[in-house]
Amino acid sequence: MFVLLLLALLCVPLLELYVIIQVAGGMGTGQTIVLLVVVSVVGAWMVRRSGLGVLNQIRARLSRGELPAAELVDGLLILVAGALMLTPGFITDAVGLLLLFFPTRVLVRSLLMRHFSKKVTVGGWSAGPGGRGGFGFGYSSGGAGGFHPGGPDVRDVNEVREIRDSRQSSEDSDGD
């Protein structure tokens, strides 16, 4: 993964420079610069509009008590699109514009969610031989015990203190 990122950081600027030089050779340098600026301004406006729309969707889902997973991924994709749109170059602008269009964003979002949902484990991990480690609530998968419905016993803090105090006072009276 690191190699791909390094390769992208080296190749993308070179490709962008090549495309800019080719466009400038055909249109002229001034018109190429104006086109890059106009595309960036239009992209910034689209990022703002799309971002506010997704923010409203997130608020609506949260107010209904729902988890806005798809909307959060959309917000991340819009953030990436904004960064690409602000990067000078036609290739990054094209990729950024594709991420801003809803049908393309839905396709990328579904691919990302499918990819990362395979990597997520619900529950916790096993801590020791036969132990149930992790956070100890909800449903656990994997680990030594397999599937565990329910969770830990929940006790009031004052109840725990009373039990501890009664044990301590009984130990003190045993020692007398």
Q: Is residue 75 within 8 Å of 114, Cβ to Cβ?
A: no
Confidence of residue 95 (pLDDT cuts 50, 70, 90): very high
Q: Radius of gyration (Cα) for the chain, nearest Å?
A: 28
pLDDT at 151: 55
Provide φ and ψ at 51, rounded to 5°: -65, -40
Question: What integer is the mean pLDDT of 113-118?
Answer: 85
Q: In this structure, how many other beta carbons lie within 10 angstroms of the beta carbon of residue 73? A: 19
Question: What integer is the mean pLDDT of 85-94?
Answer: 92
Q: Is residue 16 within 8 Å of 90, Cβ to Cβ?
A: yes
pLDDT at 140: 46
> What tokens does 72 get?
């959060």
> What tokens does 92 get?
């990054």
| Highest averaged pLDDT of the listed ranges 40-49, 117-126, 157-166 | 40-49
pLDDT at 150: 55
Residue 155 or residue 11, greater confidence: 11
Quote the pTM value.
Answer: 0.64
pLDDT at 118: 81
Residues 93, 81: Cα–Cα separation, whole Å: 8
Confidence of residue 6 (pLDDT cuts 50, 70, 90): confident
DSSP string of 73-112, one letter each residue: HHHHHHHHHHHHHHSSSHHHHHHHHHHHSHHHHHHHHHHH
pLDDT at 117: 82
Domain boundaries, the chain: 16-117, 122-176
pLDDT at 41: 92
Distances (CA, A) of 165 to 33, 170, 171: 77, 9, 10
